[in-house]
A and B are shown apart, each in its own frame.
Chain A
Amino acid sequence: MTATDPDAAEATPTRRMSCTVNGQHRTVECEDRQLLVEVIREQLNLKGTHIGCLNGDCGACTVELDGRIVKSCLLLAASAEGSEITTVEAMGSPGDLSDVQEAFWDNDGFQCGFCLPGHLFAARDLIGSNPDPSDDEIRHAIAGNLCRCTGYQRIVTSIRDAAARARASGA
């Protein structure tokens, strides 16, 4: 063991980090090496953001960060200092689901539900910029997410329906 071995240090470097999470100002202690998804799940105790691959491939850890959807396993938590984060918990609550969530439920747009954060955020993002997307546009909008249960077809139907609901309520 050499003195320069970082793992041999007595204490892992840590920091205090502040951000706004689901509308609330939060300050947490975290290790420098912690990923954003880890801090969201552990320190912030928001378990709806899931870990499927830790490699940016599956999208189960998707959150909204300063208005953009991001895969929170690809960011160090420290890089989110001062940012505004929205997790899936804030998209709606039981008994008060968002239109996108209701559309997923009505159209059986999920089975095990583990991948939902990626699909729900991608759907909301798409509908925000394209109120009447084609099926192809929907499929490309969710291409960064993996789902192993549905074969995506009912996700496509759900997003199509969610867009229609958004148009109807906006009209």
Chain B
Amino acid sequence: MTEIVAPRVGRTQVAEEVPAPLFEQVRRKDGDLVLTGRGGYLDDIVLPDTLHAAVLRSPHPHATIRGIDTSAARARPGVRLVLTGREARDAVGIIPHFFDPALVGGRTADFRCLAVDTVVYEGEPVAAVVAGTVHAAQAALDAVVVDYEPLPFVLDADAALEPDAPTLFDGWDDNVLIRLPFAEGDAGAVLAAAEHVLDGEIRIGRYQTAPLETRGYLASWGPDDRLTFYASTQNPHPLRSHLAEILDVPESSVRVVATRLGGGFGHKFHGYPEESLVCLLARLVGAPVKWVESREECMLVGAREFVHRFAVAYDGDGRILALRDRILGNVGALGASGGWGMTFVAGMAFPGPYRIKDYDVESVAVVTHKPPWNGARGYGKESAALAIERIVDLVAAELALDPAVVRRRNFIPPEEFPYWTAAKHLDSGRYTAALDHVLDLAGYHELRREQARERAAGRLVGVGIGFELTPEGGDFSGALLRGFDTSTVRMDPTGRATVLTGVTSPGTGNETGIAQLVAAELGISPHDVSVVQGDTDLCPYGYGNFSSRSLTVGGAAAVLAARDVRDTLARAAAVLLETPPENLVFTGGRVHALDAPERALRMRDLAGAVFRRTIALPGLDDAQLESTRTYTPSNVHNIPDEQGRWSPYPSFPYSAHVTVVEIDPDTGVVTLRGYSGVHDCGTIVNPVLVESQFLGAIAMGIGGALWEELPYGADGRLRARTFKQYLMPRAPDLPWINTGHQVTPSPFALLGMKGSGESGTAGAVASVANAVNDALAPLGVRVHEMPLSAPRVLSAIREARR
């Protein structure tokens, strides 16, 4: 069922096929530590005499701060410091943006670690308390008296565009952050002339990734005024750069250590107020200060609230002729964190895997008085896939065609790659093959026959297809958010290798994949390769973890560096074994002559000789068993071509999904009866890790499609504040997920890797939405508001019966 093609790794000195420790199941590194509670997450770090911070947050979505009285709080037991926004303003600068919208023609606004005069969302930090214990700090928050004057606020994106809507930021005459057009051809003309046109609207609700470990920071200033900042963050080096700027200290005086992450998913991109706040508090009290986000605080961070208003023209065979979509993204109060860019991706991902020559997509980011977004796995691709895949199904339904047939008729065929769209240069793809694979895996044709029988018996059973294109590895020039990355490989005198890399792992296991890649180059076991990530004092400058990039760029850089080390080793081995370097084979922890396997050296003896005998032995003249290399993806096109096309993403994995659901007509509850997915991320280094990413992404997509939502009340306050309201999938909620993989290597990437991690989220959202609407089809109703929660589905069923 699972097709795994393992391309051979290039080796300069190999004349025969050598079994490599690649493409095999290797258990994830540090499993024994993690499984026995010795993982070392942020909150596990203990420094002597650490104090604890608590943050007072605005209860209002929009208000003026007339004054703050901290005297009672200062008198509370155990309290060491109470800090207000006015005090903080004089001590630290503004927070640089993760990616400033002004870099791409948008508006911008300044954010500080504590609000000074005005709050623009519920939960905005207004004061902080430092005390000896978390409880003492939290208790003292109650004694801080803030005099607020509530102001009018707006929560809905459409309402925020009304001329009389309250605005958020000084100097903005409306609430539009940026308008992002993505268009080719003349969609308007085609839509006006087409015989078949349909239109509609689909909404996807505010959501978040909710990693099991929330964020946390621990700041400690040394006697030399050097800051060590332990952080649950995905991007330690850019965070270091930004902290140095905010705190006005040399960047060399800041060390960021990204501890083992208990999940990231975009929630731990930097730009949060608490990062510099904790540093400032530690500086002011002269002791280490720790702050760990509560689950309730975590839930304030949103993502993915979009509306699509679309029109599509198609012919009688289901070929899509033109597409128009007006996307509205409610990005909340912007902030400096990395969320708003999802509105870019939500438009850029159009028109998905389909050959549509005339399209006109505009994605508009609108600010409102909800808390800012941060990234969420999928990063807008799930919203695009939802709209595109619903459109395909709507066309199929209008023409009474099988939705699989309509997809096949519209896919970009394999021979047309590389394929340009307005903002993508698609590397390669076999979309029909992936679709056929998943239909086969799901038993699609039997499912349809079964569905017909069950429908005849009055049951609401639906089958939904979802196809996801997942642009990965994005490169955003102008910001510390780039597509390239850097790794060092060094070998010690025992013949073991260490990789130090600028990419980080949020718990996905890319360190294991990197070790496998380096081990394959050096002919040693992955167990003899250590991978160091996240410590800015140790690792080369890099951009960390986002956009499924860690293995494809950090791993590729490590491959290049390992090849340098191997070349040095080969020259030394040639001298010691008296054979030309071309005649050497690196395998099994040894180096031997190709034509005389008995002439061999153990890697520890070879590396030991380089360290111990270079210069002393004739011919042994290079002792540098260390290399640092940067890998730059070759399929990034930052400069627009003559037609204005560009491509900030180099890598385009994709996946095909089939979901089977049944709806209880009395309750609206959707039950998942089956799920199948086929994934193509190019060359696979570790099939188990790739599959694990795919499974997790699908579960996240399902959660977002059916249950997870961050609703706001008319008072501008969040209603879901615990996991009792924010309903993530639990084990009994999910069906067995059948998976398949196909391998279509990227011709542009080292080893053909495309990126794995996000893929699955978007396809799950789309296929679940299609399945639920397919189940409701006999009733003649549709639900186009996500999540497809029981109350929403039930109200559609009742509407049909009215």
Chain A interface residues (CB < 8 Å from chain B) = 1, 7-12, 31, 33-34, 41, 45-55, 57-58, 60, 87-89, 91-95, 97, 101, 104-106, 108, 110-117, 120, 135-136, 138-140, 142-143, 145-156
Interface 0/1 of B18-60, CB less than 8 Å to A: 0000000001100111111111110110100000000000000
Set A11, A49, A52, A151: member contacting B734, Cβ < 8 A:
A151
The CA-CA distance from A48 to B39 in the complex, in Å, is 7
Minimum CB distance partner of B728 in chain A: A146
The CA-CA distance from A68 to B212 in the complex, in Å, is 23
A47-B37, A54-B295 are known contacts. Are A115 and B77 too (CB-CB below 8 A)? Answer: no
The reply to whether A48 and B734 contact each other, CB–CB distance below 8 Å, is: no
Task: Give 16 A-B contacts (CB < 8 Å), ordered by A residue.
Answer: A48-B37, A49-B37, A52-B214, A53-B722, A55-B723, A88-B36, A94-B32, A94-B33, A97-B36, A111-B28, A139-B732, A148-B212, A149-B263, A151-B734, A152-B734, A154-B692
4 A-B pairs besides A47-B37, A148-B696 with CB distance below 8 A are: A48-B38, A108-B27, A147-B212, A152-B734
The reply to whether A146 and B696 contact each other, CB–CB distance below 8 Å, is: no
**How many whole Å from B710's CB to the nearest CB in chain A?**
16
The reply to whether B36 and A112 contact each other, CB–CB distance below 8 Å, is: no
Q: Which residues on the A side are within 8 Å of B477 (C-beta)?
A: none
The reply to whether A149 and B35 contact each other, CB–CB distance below 8 Å, is: no
Q: Which residues on the B side are within 8 Å of A57 (C-beta)?
A: 722-724
Q: Which of B507, B508, B698 has the most CB of A within 10 A?
A: B507
**How many whole Å from B798's CB to the nearest CB in chain A?**
30
**How many whole Å from B721's CB to the nearest CB in chain A?**
9
The CA-CA distance from A87 to B41 in the complex, in Å, is 17
The CA-CA distance from A41 to B263 in the complex, in Å, is 20
The reply to whether A89 and B38 contact each other, CB–CB distance below 8 Å, is: yes
The reply to whether B36 and A53 contact each other, CB–CB distance below 8 Å, is: no
A58-B212, A108-B692 are known contacts. Are A97 and B294 too (CB-CB below 8 A)? Answer: no
Interface residue? B695 (CB, 8 A): yes
Set A58, A93, A105, A135: member contacting B723, Cβ < 8 A:
A58
Interface 0/1 of B707-732, CB less than 8 Å to A: 00000000000000011100011111
The CA-CA distance from A57 to B727 in the complex, in Å, is 10
The reply to whether B213 and A52 contact each other, CB–CB distance below 8 Å, is: yes
The reply to whether A93 and B213 contact each other, CB–CB distance below 8 Å, is: no
Q: Which of A58, A97, A112 has the most CB of B within 10 A?
A: A112
A55-B295, A114-B41, A120-B35 are known contacts. Are A153 and B723 too (CB-CB below 8 A)? Answer: no
Minimum CB distance partner of B32 in chain A: A94
Q: Which residues on the A side are within 8 Å of B730 (C-beta)?
A: 142-143, 145-146, 152
The CA-CA distance from A145 to B723 in the complex, in Å, is 11
Q: Which of B33, B72, B263 has the most CB of A within 10 A?
A: B263
The CA-CA distance from A152 to B730 in the complex, in Å, is 8
Interface size in chain B (residues, C-beta < 8 A): 67
The CA-CA distance from A10 to B37 in the complex, in Å, is 36
The CA-CA distance from A41 to B261 in the complex, in Å, is 18
Interface residue? B699 (CB, 8 A): yes
Interface of B is mostly: loop
The CA-CA distance from A111 to B513 in the complex, in Å, is 13
The reply to whether A151 and B38 contact each other, CB–CB distance below 8 Å, is: no
Q: Which of B81-89, B135-143, B172-180, B187-195 contacts A (4 or more CB under 8 A)?
A: B135-143
Q: Which residues on the A side are within 8 Å of B466 (C-beta)?
A: none
The CA-CA distance from A117 to B177 in the complex, in Å, is 43
Set B43, B213, B736: member contacting A135, Cβ < 8 A:
B736
Q: Which residues on the A side are within 8 Å of B46 (C-beta)?
A: 45
**How many whole Å from B720's CB to the nearest CB in chain A?**
12
Q: Which residues on the B side are within 8 Å of A55 (C-beta)?
A: 295, 722-724
**How many whole Å from A31's CB to the nearest CB in chain B?**
7
The CA-CA distance from A60 to B38 in the complex, in Å, is 14
Q: Which residues on the A side are within 8 Å of B136 (C-beta)?
A: 12
Interface residue? B265 (CB, 8 A): yes
Set B213, B728, B737: member contacting A112, Cβ < 8 A:
B213
Q: Which of B43, B139, B262, B728 has the most CB of A within 10 A?
A: B262
The CA-CA distance from A153 to B735 in the complex, in Å, is 9
Q: Which of B60-108 contact A (CB under 8 A)?
A: 72, 75-78
Set B31, B78, B699, B736: member contacting A150, Cβ < 8 A:
B699
Q: Which residues on the A side are within 8 Å of B728 (C-beta)?
A: 146, 148
Set A1, A89, A97: member contacting B32, Cβ < 8 A:
A97
**How many whole Å from A95's CB to the nearest CB in chain B?**
7
The reply to whether A92 and B35 contact each other, CB–CB distance below 8 Å, is: yes
The CA-CA distance from A113 to B212 in the complex, in Å, is 9
The reply to whether A113 and B722 contact each other, CB–CB distance below 8 Å, is: no
Set B78, B139, B142, B732: member contacting A143, Cβ < 8 A:
B732
The CA-CA distance from A47 to B723 in the complex, in Å, is 23
